[in-house]
Amino acid sequence: MYIPLLLTDFLDRAVKLYGDKTAVIDDEKVVTYFELNERVNRLSHGLEEKGVEKGDRVAILAPNTLEMLEGFYGAFQLGAVTVPLNIRLKPNDYLFILNHSETKILFVDYELYGLIDPVRDQLNVEKIIVHGGSKIKLENNDLDYEAWLAQFSVKPFDRAEMDEKDIASLLYTSGTTGDPKGVMLTHRNNYLQALQVMHHLRVSDQDVVLHVLPMFHVNGWGSIFYYTGNGATQIMLRKTRPNIIFEKLEKHDVTIMHMAPTVLNSLLQYYDENKMNINQQNVRVVIGGSAPPVTFIAKVEEKMGWEFIQVYGMTETSPLTLTSIIRAQHLDEPKEVQYRMKSKAGYQMFLTDVKVVNEEGEEVAPNGKEIGEIVIQSNGVMEGYWKNEKATKEVIRNGWFHTGDMGVVDSDGNIEIVDRKKDVIISGGENISSIEVENILYEHPAVIEAAVISIPHEKWGETPHAVVVVRDREAVTEEEIIAFARERVAHYKAPTSVSFVKELPKTGSGKIQKAHLRNQFWESKDKLVN
């Protein structure tokens, strides 16, 4: 018997088994799973009325809200493809993504509405619908979401005929080229990812999840499947401010949260500064991104009383493939040994095969010293990059996805990331293309050459640093270069510091040797990631 694995199954199960249970708490908005399903049906009927068909792209630009969550399920019922948008981008970024993806309908939160106006006339989208549109003045023929939604029936939607190999989502991620690439994930990719992750994270109907990680991140929006399917109560978080997180944590008896290391670090600082007394102890905090120091993990577990869970993955792998949860054979190890294990990317999850290989494709020795590239074979690996077959072939070779991350393997099979092949900078959990930032710097009239590299940063893990060669007799300051960049790219992408040099180190072929530039900033570190 063949039954396709479709993402609509997760909400169907929740309605059937947990219909009267609270599904979502979004500040003053509280809905049960039955009520959530009614709103999803209204949305699907509305999208159909707007001409959305199977395969059409539906984009969502919103913080973590009820409307964003229901947007995914509403689109899936038509067989449409969701395009979650990073809320930290610039208008020109949205222009590229929306037109490149050929998005038909754009949902945007009222607080982010202003990001679309500057490029509105160049967009090819057919309709813009605004979450919370009644709170602001809308332009042209844009629609208020709630007023529009209310027109349509709550009756079950007659779903499109779908297969698990159909594309469900298109997620744009920064790479080694200036323009972001659209990662195509299928229903099958996301379905099996949900099953493997909920096993490792021990998700159940007793969980209360606080959605801290933005849902435009694949690990943020992917989580809505396993928490929904298990009937967990989902708490929405519009702003990632420590005081608000602690308030919701206590108020709703939260049991699990996903977040970037920088957010967890802000919680620890707030905890210390305010001398807080936390009553909530049964909390699992799931961290993905740069590896944390052992002292960081110890503080989370001993002072906060939370369970620290490190995970590793990429958008291209749906995303999670490794976890550092302590295995049974190590439970008797001293705490400091366990914390060291938890600081690593970890061992492979169910339904994945992860290796570290040398340039000949052979697995490195499990001695914690021999360095190789992390490669992955799993049901979560993407179908490819949207309209970019060349880039797809570069990363999926001989049946393996090549991450570009360099790592070592210890005797217990735990993988630790030690360097990156790519020149992508990961700052606060966000991918930043060095080439994109360099292209902006080259627009400055005083700049002859520029190289953007990662340097260590206490708060963000690492941050962009620009090394610049300026024209003779040109006077330009570090502050001017930074301001120039911040006016043209999202602030988190702009350099936070600048060095001025007479010339950049180059290879014989004229390629800038970024490794030489990076080394002077990382000399005190034992690895080239932070």
pLDDT grade for 67, boundaries at 50, 70 and 90: very high
Q: Are 353 and 378 in contact (CB under 8 A)?
A: yes
CATH superfamily name and code, 8-13+29-187: ANL, N-terminal domain (3.40.50.12780)
**Helical (H) or strand (E) element with 231:** none
**Two tokens, residue 272:** 């210390």
* The predicted structure's pLDDT at residue 458: 82
Torsion of CA 134, 140, 141, 145, to 10 degrees: -20
Confidence of residue 176 (pLDDT cuts 50, 70, 90): very low
Is the previous residue joined to 292 through a cis bond, with omega within 30 degrees of 0?
no
The mean of the pLDDT values for the chain is: 92
DSSP E strands: which ranges in 126-278?
127-131, 143-144, 167-173, 181-186, 208-211, 233-236, 256-259
- Dihedral through CA 429, CA 435, CA 439, CA 441, nearest 10? 60
Q: How many helices (H) and strands (E) does the chain have?
A: 16, 27
Between CA 261 and CA 265 the distance in angstroms is 6
Least confident of 16-30, 201-215, 431-445: 431-445
Which pLDDT value is given to residue 505? Answer: 87
Residue with the bigger pLDDT between 415 and 265: it is 415
241 Cβ partners below 8 Å, 6+ apart? Answer: none
The residues, any chain, with a CB within 8 Å of residue 483's CB and separated by 6 or more, are none
The domain ranges of the chain are 8-13+29-187, 239-418, 424-522
For residue 510, pLDDT over 60 is answered with no
Q: Which residues make Cβ contacts (< 8 Å) with residue 208, sequence separation at least 6?
A: 232, 233, 234, 235, 252, 253, 254, 255, 256
> Is 239-418 in the same CATH topology as 8-13+29-187?
yes
Strands 396-397 and 400-409: antiparallel
> What are the tens digits of pLDDT across the range 382-427?
999 999 999 999 999 999 999 998 889 999 999 998 766 667 788 8
Confidence of residue 65 (pLDDT cuts 50, 70, 90): very high
Considering only 150-164, 170-184, 315-329, 380-394, which range has the smallest mean pLDDT?
A: 170-184
**Confidence label for 508 from pLDDT (cuts 50, 70 and 90):** very low
pLDDT at 428: 85
Q: Which amino acid is it at 47?
A: L
Mean pLDDT, rounded, for 343-356: 96
CA neighbor of 113 nearest in space, from 62, 68, 44, 189: 62
| 248 contact partners, CB below 8 Å, separation of at least 6 | 210, 235, 237, 254
Q: Which residue has the higher pLDDT, 443 or 328?
A: 328
Can you tell me whether residue 513 is helix, strand or coil?
coil
User: Within 19-156, where are the H helices?
Assistant: 33-49, 66-76, 91-100, 145-149
CATH topology of domain 239-418: Rossmann fold (3.40.50)
Q: Does domain 424-522 have CATH number 3.30.300.30?
A: yes
pLDDT of 162 above 90? yes
Rounded Cα–Cα distance for residues 324 and 341 (Å): 7
What integer is the mean pLDDT of 259-280? 83
- Say how far apart CA 68 and CA 109 lie, in whole Å: 9
End-to-end CA distance of the chain: 48
Q: Any bridge partners for residue 60, and if so which?
A: 84, 107
Per-residue confidence band for 511, with pLDDT thresholds at 50, 70 and 90:
low
Radius of gyration of the chain (CA): 23
How far is C-alpha 298 from the geometric centre of its chain's CA atoms?
25
Strands (E), 328-460: 347-348, 352-357, 372-378, 384-385, 396-397, 400-409, 415-420, 424-427, 430-433, 447-457
Three-class SS state of 316: helix
What is the predicted pLDDT for the residue at 461? 86
Task: Please give the pLDDT value at position 504.
Answer: 87
Segment 215-224 mean pLDDT? 89
Rounded to whole angstroms, the Cα distance separating 84 from 1 reads: 33
Pairing of strands 233-236, 208-211: parallel
Listed in sequence order, the residues at least 6 apart from 263 whose beta carbon sits closer than 8 Å to its beta carbon are 212, 240, 245
Q: Assess contact for 245 and 219: CB atoms under 8 A.
A: no
Please tell me the predicted confidence (pLDDT) of residue 5. 98
Give the side-chain half-sphere CA count within 13 A for 181. Answer: 23
What letter does residue 505 receive in the DSSP assignment?
-
Residue 422, pLDDT score: 64
